[in-house]
Structure 1
Amino acid sequence: METHVKVIEQQPPRFLPQSLTQASAADGGSRYRWKVLLASVLGYAMDGLDMLILSFVMTAIIGAFGLTLAEGGLVATVTLIGAVLGGYGFGILADYIGRVRVFSLTILVFSVFTGLTAFADSFLELNIYRFLAGLGLGGEFGIGMTLVTETWPKEKRARATGAVAVGWQLGVVAAALVSAYVLPAFGWRAVFLVGAVPALFAAWARYGLAEPLIWLATQAKKKALQAKIAAKLPLTAEEQAFYNKTTKFPLLHLFADRRTATTTLALTVMTSVQNTGYYGIMVWLPTVLMKQHGLTLNKTSMWMVATVLGMILGIAVFGYIADKIGRRPTYMAFQLASAAAVWVYANLSDPLHLLIGGAILGFFCNGMMAGYGALLSENYTTEARSTAENFIFNTGRAVGGFAPLVIGILAAQYSLSGALALLAFIYVAAAVNVYFLLPETKGKELN
């Protein structure tokens, strides 16, 4: 069956209209690949911008609506719930109707409802808009990653998805800048209006990109077989197997057999650890720096900058190494290094050491984001690739969303530094998970 699919990929004119093969530029043209990469990087940057501006304006929102801290936290939780559900739904939709079409739709959704947040007149209305914006936020990540992995060559796949991962960090920086300059001058509502600007980019993404050839070929072959069935013509055994596979509900592909289900479990554990570490560190470490180490807000901001720079460098290095030596050894090395970095950092006290340690922490803990787009794509076929990307990563996001709460509960019983040090153990568990359960996919041809 795999051989049959590869023949389709190598001879697209047999199944595709000439206009479509020309529009896709054979998916090998440098200009097309770079345009796809740029769109995906900017899409994820806007995702980060939209998600992070909520953090920067939360104090102003709490004051404007007279909310408690718990109610303020609920706004963030509602956004996260929307992101998880949107990731599931839009991921499946992209496998059915196309990556580019749904990619631009997700950006349009989170842009429009982010803009409408500026006009919320009640706490309920605010939550409704944030939930709907979250739907688009959750859908964008996996579809952008799928677009890149289906168009970039296998030997550069991890580096390309690493570039997309950097987009989130750029969005964090953009959110900080927008909040710093717009919030004091125009108020929190104006910040959300700026968040609506990506809607213009959605239009460019929709009309400036063609669908990946591998997806078009699969869809064309499926339609050809459907026409054959409608004409009551018999299918060969190979055609029947292909038809059964491509018409199966995409989510079922993730659990098609024992080996695939085990891989899905292993990848979900990895993304859960990734998100737990990210949210746990980024939410609580500034508090640790200010309360336990007495750092001022300015010095804490310097720590944030150093950490983000470390994250960007870590993503670049991870992508390069993963393409050179493989996914499994690179992930295990970074996970074990993350465990050591978290443990050591929890015991630092000197301000300079904390600054340098923050960069090292970001390098290892978030550098791994470079590989998920490639790794998830390589373990699933075209008819379920977008579903796999979004389902697995957003399930990890859902699990990781509880990290700030769990760490807060543990901190109340012990200490905040001690609670954060426990993150070291989950990174070790993740490395063990990779060693025993995850197959190596470096250099794998997508099918």
Structure 2
Amino acid sequence: MDIEVKANQSSIGVVASTGAMGDVDNTSASYRWKVLIASVTGYAMDGLDMLILSFVMASVMSTFGLSLAEGGFVATVTLFGAVIGGYVFGILADYIGRVKVFSLTILIFSIFTGLTAFSSSLTELNIYRFLAGLGLGGEFGIGMTLVTETWPKEKRARVTGGVAIGWQLGVVLAAAVSAWVLPTYGWRAVFLVGSLPALFAAWSRYGLAEPPIWVARNELRKRLREKVKNNEPMTQEELAVYKETNKFPLLHLFADKKISTKTFGLTVMTSVQNMGYYGIMVWLPTILMQKHGLTLTKTSAWMIATVLGMMLGIMVFGYIADKAGRRPAFITFQLMSAVCIWIYSGLSDPMHLLIGGATLGFFCNGMMAGYGALLSENYSTDARSTAENFIFNTGRAVGGLAPVLIGMLAAKYTLSGALALLAFIYIAAAINVYCLIPETKNKELID
């Protein structure tokens, strides 16, 4: 704790001497909005790419003569690439800059999503999907880090909610591109057209400056390294800061027992979030068609209602989290998610299913508004992007197993019954927040 205080004091001193701006309130409104737009479009590319694959999977399987298992592996390898990319690019963003790495990830995504259209074999297809996934993996954490480091603390959850809505916009864009392009031009054209929005994402980052808080910390790091290189004398405070700023970013997440426990608790939260999302979005349409006999058109209407519910939930959650606090918002939405899933598993009337789907989306995915703010507020600038991407993408990896686990349970019991088990997982998540996660509302970001 002593070292932390000294490090922050020393950092403040260097910021003052270099003239760098450490207070996000001093950044211009136009800069903040450009950061937000860039982050939203970046995360929209994440949703676009992941969902495009779902829409064209049947056509891809037909082209290459794939089994269900082989088709599933194409989706898995994309997700695996996203997890690895999240880890790698999160760390790089803490070392060399958020904007630089953010731009690199969108370049990788656009190139390999476009190249997917030219795949001539299953091996090529998997390689391109893995590499596209690498680029996608960095989008969430780096975008969230950028907005939290540039927007005022009083609006932090709402602006990270804005980034989270980007995913839903990507889902809508994926549906539109697939509907317009797939029937006439085939799945290869869908991937080509799907890579074009990346040009807008790249444009939105043009000329974007690094956040002042990161610039100040990086200047401090370089100044102290120069002192060490030249064998200049250093105070105890400077030595402590030097060690802190040169520590491998991932080690900050496990610096001591208290921080490790917090990292574990946050990882549980993101794992449950992803389990709920993938479990609901993958299996509920199947339940609607098989158990309730809904047509594809009615199932699509359910999907639209659910996505709209998600977007509204994100906006409401962000407001509540900023006004009432992170812990009350998460615990309330997690408990309500458990209740909604339990009730939904017993519905049968089509109109009730439609309204219930929107309500499920509202609570289960509304919490996406809070993760960017919560993760940023618990870690320092030296490891903020690493923490965002490591914790969320670990949760994504765990959550990606949900469709498989639910499918296995459904084979033994019933699909709706297996899905209802998610209710108990959300209750466990609420207990996790109550026991392990500190309140960080209006907390100043740690240098």
TM-score of the two chains, using structure 2 as the length reference: 0.96
Q: Percent identity?
A: 72
1:150–1:212 Cα contact (<8 Å) kept? yes
CA distance in 2, matches of 1:21, 1:254: 26
The alignment status of 1:54 with 2:53, answered yes or no, reads yes
**Cα distance in 2 for residues equivalent to 1:310 and 1:40:** 22
Partner of 1:169: 168
Contact (CA 8 Å) 1:108, 1:202: kept in 2 or not?
Answer: no
Is 1:357–2:356 an aligned residue pair?
Answer: yes
State the one-letter code of the partner of 2:261.
Answer: T
Structure 1 pair 9–353 and aligned structure 2 pair: CA distance change class (3 A)? farther
Letter of the 2:173 partner, please give it.
Answer: A
Partner of 1:40: 39
What displacement does 1:406 show? 0.3
Work out whether residues 7 and 244 of structure 2, in 8 Å CA contact, stay in contact via their aligned partners in 1: no
C-alpha contact 1:62 1:72 (8 A) present in aligned 2: yes
CA-to-partner distance for each residue in 1:327-369, whole Å, 9 max, x for gaps?
Answer: 0111000000000000000000000000000000000000000
Moved more, 228-237 or 26-35: 26-35
Find the aligned partners of 2:337 and 2:225 in 1 and give their Cα distance: 50
- Deviations 1:127-166, CA, capped at 9 Å, x for gaps: 0000000001111110000000000000000000000000
Shift of the alpha carbon at 1:15?
A: 2.6
1:46-445 aligned within 5 A: 46-445=45-444
Give the match for residue 27 of structure 2. Answer: 28
Cα separation, 2, equivalents of 1:403 and 1:42: 27
The answer as to 2:13 corresponding to 1:14 is no
Deviations 1:50-99 (A, max 9, x none): 11100000000011111111111110000010010000000000000000
**Whole-angstrom CA distance in 2 between matches of 1:239 and 1:313:** 47
The DSSP-based 3-state class of the residue aligned with 2:124 is helix
Residue 426 of structure 1 aligns with an amino acid whose one-letter code is I
Partners of 1:117 and 1:32 in 2: CA distance: 35
Amino acid at match of 2:369: A
User: Per-residue deviation at 1:259?
Assistant: 0.6
Amino acid at match of 1:322: A
- Aligned partners of 2:247 and 2:66: how far apart in 1? 46
1:267-312 deviation per Cα after TM superposition (whole angstroms, max 9, x unaligned): 0000000000000000000000000000000000000000000000
CA spacing shift, 1:179–1:351, aligned 2, 3 Å: same
The separation in 2 between residues aligned to 1:369 and 1:26, in whole angstroms, is 24
The amino acid of 2:224's aligned partner reads L
Whether the 8 Å contact between 1:40 and 1:144 is mirrored in structure 2 is yes
Query: What CA distance in whole angstroms lies between the structure 1 residues aligned with 2:21 and 2:295?
Result: 58
Deviation by residue 1:19-38 (Cα, 9 ceiling, x = unmatched): x869x998621110011001
- Per-residue deviation at 1:195? 1.9
The separation in 1 between residues aligned to 2:26 and 2:130, in whole angstroms, is: 35
Partner SS, residue 381 of structure 1:
coil
Quote the Cα distance in structure 2 between the aligned partners of 1:134 and 1:27.
36
Q: In structure 1, what is the equivalent of residue 8 of structure 2?
A: 5
Matched position secondary structure for 1:195: helix
How many angstroms apart in 1 are the aligned matches of 2:421 and 2:195?
A: 39
SS in 2 for 1:234: coil
Question: In structure 2, what residue type is equivalent to 1:69?
Answer: L
Are the aligned partners of 1:106 and 1:136 in contact in 2 as well (CA < 8 Å)?
yes
CA distance in 1, matches of 2:29, 2:190: 36
CA distance in 2, matches of 1:195, 1:67: 23
Whether contact under 8 Å (2:24, 2:149) holds in the other structure is: no
Q: Which amino acid aligns with 1:77?
A: T
Change (3 A) 1:377 1:195: same
Residue 207 of structure 1 aligns to a residue whose secondary structure is coil
How has the CA–CA distance of structure 1 residues 122 and 340 changed in structure 2, closer, same or farther, with 3 Å as cutoff?
same
| Native 8 Å contact 1:148 1:161 kept in 2 | yes
Number of aligned residue pairs: 443
Stretch moving more, 284-293 or 230-239: 230-239
Q: 1:21 to 1:267 in 2, by over 3 A?
A: closer
Query: Retained in 2: the 8 A contact 1:27–1:33?
Result: no
Deviation at 1:198, TM superposition (A): 3.6
Offset from partner CA, 1:168-226 (integer Å, 9 cap, x none): 00000000000000111111000000122144235424432000000000010111111
Q: Which amino acid aligns with 2:414?
A: S
Q: Tell me the amino acid that sits aligned with residue 18 of structure 2.
A: F
Secondary structure of the 1:443 match is: coil
State the alpha-carbon separation in 2 of the partners of residues 292 and 129 from structure 1. Answer: 37
Task: Tell me the SS of whatever aligns to 1:301.
Answer: helix
Q: Which amino acid is 2:391 matched to?
A: I
CA distance in 2, matches of 1:301, 1:373: 30
- Give the stretch that moved more between structures: 389-398 or 205-214: 205-214
8 A contact 1:87–1:142 mirrored in 2:
yes
Residue identity in the other structure for 1:280: G
Structure 1: stretches of 5+ with no match in the other structure: none
**Two-structure CA RMSD over aligned residues (Å):** 1.7
CA distance in structure 2 between the partners assigned to 1:309 and 1:316 by the alignment: 11
The amino acid across from 1:34 in the alignment is W
* Aligned-partner SS, 1:446: coil
How far residue 256 of structure 1 moved from its aligned partner, in angstroms, is 0.1
